[in-house]
Structure formats: C-alpha cells, structure tokens
Amino acid sequence: MKQIASGLKPLNKLKIVHRDLKLSNFLLSDDSENPIIKICDFGLATQKKSQEQNLMFDTICGTPIYMAPEILKGQKYDARADLWSLGTILYELLVGSPPFKGKSLAELVEKVNKGSYLIPTSVKLSEECINLISGLLKSNPDERFTWDCFFNHPFITEPDSDEEIKEESEASEIDSQKISFIKKVSQEKAAKAIRDNNC
C-alpha cells in the first residue's frame, strides 16, 4: 500500500482522478522478492483543469465492487471516489476478498450504501491499519479521509517496526501467496489486452 500511495501522490498533485482503481490495475515490474508496483489502465481517468477547484463528475464508470457509493447511486462525485476504491483494495489485500459483495448489482449497491463490513477475527490487523480502512470506507464522502489524511496516515508513513518485520517474516508464505495473486491478476489482464488487440 505504501508503494501504491507513492505512485498516486504525483497523480493527485496533477489533479488526475483514476476512476477505476482495482487490484487488476496494479502490475508488478518483475519476479524479484521486492517488485515495484505500477499503476495502469488510465482509460477512464480524467484531469481537472487548474481553474476548476471543485469539479464534480457524473459519468458512471469503474468496476462495481470497487466503485464508491456516490457513483453507484448515480450522484456527482470527485477525487474522493478513488479513496473509497483504495479502502476496498486494502481490505481485499489483507482479508482476501472484497468488503462488499452481492449476487446482483442491486444487492451490492444496498450493502455499499449501508457501509457495514466485517473484518474476520482470524485476520490480525494493527490499529493503524483498521483506522485507515475505516476512514477510507465511509459511505458519505464528506466523512471519508481526505487525500492528505491518506498520504500522511501512520500506516502509510511510519517505517515497519521490528515486531512488524518479525511478523512479516513469519508470514512470508502468506505474503508470497498475495504476490502470486497479484501476479496472476496482472497476467490475466495482460493476456486479455493482447487478445483484444489481436497481438
């Protein structure tokens, strides 16, 4: 998540709103133990002009399970919609599944609007991590963390403690599974792009 934040910071300064942040739109640079995460697929992205301070959008776009409530409800939205997507991504990376799911779009919208989700007791998260997820997954965008809050949140800015490093070492197998999962999604996306372009 720290790498993702690092990649989004310059985009935020340029007032670029991605509008389709999701796991499959993050690619790994290589197969090393410390791959670099890269953000891709800016097909739905848009950029505010310098004189537009509070520009709102009304185009419904994105991937439903990552879309902010305001988009799903057909309301106008702004860059805070990307923050909701980040909360969904962070939750999914740590828990293994999205925070909101539904058998139909209507059911998904209902759950997202309620904004209630559970973190399984089997998943041990730090207070900082839980606070970040909670701040990003606020159904009301006015209550959601701002970009400054996200970039300066302790979970993003603080270096890993010795205890965290130890826990990460003990959970290396789980970490490998997460990396394999992201790689698989990235490979599937690349294959689809090749098929779509008849390469």
Determine the pLDDT at residue 186. 56
Per 3-state DSSP, the chain is made up of helix, strand and coil in percentages (nearest 5) of 50, 5, 45
**Paired strand residues for 16:** 47
- How high is the pLDDT of residue 187? 57
Name which residue leads in pLDDT, 83 or 13: 83
Instruction: Evaluate if residue 188 carries a pLDDT over 50.
Output: yes
pLDDT score at 168: 44
Predicted local distance difference test score (pLDDT) of residue 33? 75
Q: In three state form, how does the secondary structure of 104-142 look? A: CHHHHHHHHHHCCCCCCCCCCCCHHHHHHHHHHCCCCCC
Q: Domains (ranges, CATH) in the chain?
A: 2-196 (1.10.510.10)
Across 49-53, 83-87, 160-164, 187-191, the highest mean pLDDT is recorded for 83-87
Catalytic center residues: 20
Residue from 41, 6, 47 nearest 23 by CA: 41
* pLDDT higher than threshold 60 for residue 166: no
Does the pLDDT at position 162 exceed 50? no
Query: Per-residue confidence at 172, pLDDT binned at 50, 70, 90?
Result: very low
For 38-96, how does the pLDDT look when each residue is reduced to its tens digit (9 = 90+)? 889 888 888 877 665 567 888 888 899 999 999 998 899 888 999 999 999 999 999 99
What pLDDT shows up at residue 131? 95
Phi, psi (rounded to 5 degrees) for 37: -85, 130
pLDDT digits (tens, 9 = 90+) for 80-137: 999 999 999 999 999 999 999 888 988 998 888 888 898 998 999 999 999 999 999 9
Residue of 125 and 29 predicted with greater confidence: 125
Q: How confident is the model at residue 170 (pLDDT cuts 50, 70, 90)?
A: very low
- Is the pLDDT reported for residue 154 higher than 90? yes
